[in-house]
Structure 1
């Protein structure tokens, strides 16, 4: 009888230990999964915010360049501003690569590309103030559309 009691006690201890191990393992996996999700979410948020900021800076200087070239000639060095515009565009493209690497969402990728393209249009196609105003509004909307598309992935 004592042997049976000892065997039951040992089996109970092993069963308890096994159950504890299984539960702790599941909790650890869930914790690791939540940490990974949080890290990926933060990486996306950082990339999306950096891209929106880079687009804004690129747009701001592109508009400034247009005014210097078309309405205030000789007020500033156009070549220096143009170089800076290209540097800001390169920065935006670089951060855009991060956005593409961090999301598979087609709406986010498309809106990111559209926003960059709309800002480049400010530099390339605007001949009159009216065209500039239209492209400024379009590019502002495109940046906002990118933010709107990216917001659900940032939560």
Structure 2
């Protein structure tokens, strides 16, 4: 009888040991507190830490920076613009909508080769350019004597 108890005890120990080994040795179960990793997560090399897409990764030489687009609106009326000074940062893409509210006018800035065509009153046009040079640049209306009569302003790139 003593021998039977030893065999039963050995079988129980093997079963319990096998159960514990299999339940702990596999991959851990996902709990509700663990955030799911999405396809937009990027794993840093060797670190295994998720970072947001577009964030610089230490040691990575091929980081893509997010393009900044600055949207502006300038209104033109007789011999003046609604804005006399525009400030932007170097490297920004400028998307400028020029709305003409009277007469024939346009909007130009020579240093960035940007400008609208001559528009009739009530028309508008959008131009886009990159402010890739630091400095103060004059924008103006090129129609007749409008620039000489004060239809101009300053584009300041910092």
Regarding TM over 0.5, the answer is no
Structure with bigger helix share is 1
Larger Rg: 2
Structure number with greater CO (CA < 8 Å, separation at least 6) is: 1
Structure with bigger strand share is 2
